[in-house]
Amino acid sequence: MKVSYHGHSVVKVETSDYTILFDPFITGNSTTDLNAEDVKVDVILLTHGHNDHVGDTVQLAKKNDALVIAPFELATFLGWQGVKVHPMHIGGANTFDFGKVKLTQAFHGSSYTNEETKEITYTGMPSGILLTIEGKTIYHAGDTALFSDMKLIGERNNIDLAFLPIGDNFTMGIEDALLAAEWLGAKKVVPIHYNTFPVIEQDPTHFTNQLPEGVGITLSPGQSIEI
């Protein structure tokens, strides 16, 4: 199974049968290597409703007849736009043809902003996502702050690969992300949500170099690992 990073918080999981995208912010993302017109996807997993995470979801879902899995309010909002959705909520899990999805807590806001009309639509509680697929568990933390129940998530799940934000200002910074990585106990940890905007500029190697040997992996947009 190939897992690749595509800038900001965009993560792609590819198996022999499915392509899954987390938080596909592509158009307007200065750090991504992807072109939304070329993306093929079967399933889209959304952590929350901010524009830099919903991104190209509606376009991609309609073009590819992809299923969008998201927190209830966000799923409802996208369903009204003609997207095929499966709503979930924090603490809930569901088994799909491709694998199991469980939503975890995350601590930050969640809303979709329409710049033209100056309207902000509340999109429910934000989440992290545990994806168990082909016997491996991947944790995408979304935009969360550090919270102590990350230790519980680590104790209850054998996490093979975790994606943690390090950008600070809007999310955890490096110091808090290091503690999150310790609590989660993931075998591999990849930093996300940095360098897209000036306010979240970070050196990802400053994070990965402080993790135990072999745990931290810095992926440039388009790079992948096998798990």
Secondary structure (DSSP) of 21-89: EES---TT-TT----GGG---SEEE-S---HHHHTTHHHHHHHHT-EEEEEHHHHHHHHTTT--EEEE-
- pTM, to two decimals: 0.98
- How confident is the prediction along the chain (227 residues), in pLDDT tens digits per residue? 999 999 999 999 999 999 999 999 999 999 999 999 999 999 999 999 999 999 999 999 999 999 999 999 999 999 999 999 999 999 999 999 999 999 999 999 999 999 999 999 999 999 999 999 999 999 999 999 999 999 999 999 999 999 999 999 999 999 999 999 999 999 999 999 999 999 999 999 999 999 999 999 999 999 999 99
Listed by start position, the domains of the chain span 2-220
pLDDT at 130: 98
Q: Which tokens go with 174?
A: 């490096």
Which residues face 119 on adjacent strands?
A: 114
DSSP string, 90-103: TT-EEE-SS-EEEE
Q: Is the sign of the CA dihedral 153, 167, 223, 27 positive or negative?
A: positive
Residue count (the chain):
227
- Is 53:29 a contact under the CB 8 Å cutoff? no
Residue 48 near residue 110, CB atoms below 8 Å: yes
Q: Does the domain spanning 2-220 belong to CATH 3.60.15.10?
A: yes
Other Cβ atoms less than 10 A from the Cβ of 42: the count is 17
Count of C-beta atoms within a 10 Å radius of residue 169: 12
**What one-letter code names the amino acid at 118?**
K
